[in-house]
Amino acid sequence: MKKIAVIGLALVVVFLGLTACKKAGGADSVLSLIPQDAQGVVVVNVNKAMTTDFVDKAIKENKEYQKYQEFIKETGIDPQKDIFYIAVGLIQKKTEGGETEQQGVVVANMNYNKDVLLAKIKEKASGLNEETYEGVTVYAITEKEAAKPTYGAFLDASNILIGSEKAVKAVIDISKKKADNVFKNADLSALIKTANKNALLWSAFSFPPEMMKDMAAKNPMASDLADVKALLIYFDYANKSLQLEIKGLGGDADKNKKLAETLTGYKALGGMFATEKPEVGELLNKIEVSSAPDYVKIFVNIPEDLLNKLSATAQKQVEEKLAGIKPEEKKEEKKEEKK
């Protein structure tokens, strides 16, 4: 639980405090610090997300709103005013032993008070080690439960990093002009150019052919995905509706048509729950699956009234679950949360 608290705080600092990137630079400003060998990137326009009517209402009506206000007071960061973008770089490499090594880094550009944030992390962390790399202090948060420590760095007056050791140091190398960024990655940079960068969240992933074939070989249910070479995803809120698009690139007309039919079949299976929960049926009706010679696409458009229904249903289920927990069990849960 201590590990969760430490990493949770770090993520809160990064996610809620991280992106006050200069508007002129936009998403490309944070993307320019993602390592060249990344297979995928995720970009969140936090400022746009936090100021939508739906999110604004959800924040202010949430039972934990007081804690949200306390976070602002303690850190000096107001997520609805100070946040712009967050970029995540995901890297997968083969080790000398032939095993797959996962690496990742979050890059944030923001207005922050280093002393305040560092003090908060030190307050929660049971193990915090420091080293200097290329003139930048790198912090390693080590917990007994963790196989590997989590690394972070205050890169400069406006950039914060958090992730694996190699990925964090790779970003520092980029900042020192000693390494190339993701825009030098031909496959991924080409995908980035076609992404919906106006969305609340968008991502682009480029898959090595052997990776998808290996996955299909291990899981027969994933065999239809063997020819997918790349993935583009965006998540947006427009015209009082939540929109999600997932586009798998690759294959050919026949293979993509077959994959679309398989996905439509899964959608039909989900319809079995619609009899008990009408809102689930409404959600399924908002899902469109289509294909073309070079892609398969899933598009979902959920109007705000349906979002409210789904939110109410989820809240009700949580309350019913909590109501079924014995008083002594609730006490134990609270003790765990405090840890």
Most confident range (mean pLDDT) of 48-62, 178-192, 301-315 is 178-192
Cα of 127 vs its chain's centroid, Å:
26
For the chain, give every domain's residue range: 1-184, 207-339
91 torsion bin: left (phi>0), alpha (psi -120 to 50), beta (else) = beta
State the Cα torsion 332-333-334-335 to the nearest 10°. 50
Count of all residues that appear for the chain in the document? 339
Residue 328: Cβ-neighbour burial (10 angstroms; 0-12, 13-18, 19+): exposed
- Predicted TM-score (pTM) of the model is 0.79
Residue 68 Cα distances to 1, 47, 273, 332, 338, angstroms:
21, 16, 35, 24, 17
Residue 124 Cα distances to 4, 66, 119, 136, 249, angstroms:
10, 21, 9, 22, 44
Report the relative pairing of strands 201-206 and 40-45 from DSSP bridges: antiparallel
Query: What pLDDT was estimated at residue 327?
Result: 54
Q: Using CA atoms, how far apart are residues 16 and 77, in angstroms rounded to an integer? A: 8
| Structure-model confidence comparison of residues 120 and 231, the more confident one | 231
Average per-residue pLDDT in the chain?
82
The pLDDT tens digits for 186-239 are 999 999 999 999 999 999 999 887 777 777 677 766 677 778 899 999 999 888
Spell out the residues 6+ positions from residue 286 whose beta carbon is closer than 8 angstroms to its own.
300, 301, 302, 303, 306
* Closest alpha carbon to 171 in 89, 242, 99, 233: 89
SS3 state of residue 322:
helix
The DSSP secondary structure of 135-197, one letter per residue, reads TEEEEEE--TT-SS-EEEEEEETTEEEEE-HHHHHHHHHHHTTSS-BGGG-HHHHHHHHHS-T
SS3 state of residue 207:
coil
Q: Answer whether residue 324 shows pLDDT above 60.
A: yes
Q: Answer whether residue 152 shows pLDDT above 90.
A: yes
Spell out the residues 6+ positions from residue 282 whose beta carbon is closer than 8 angstroms to its own.
306, 309
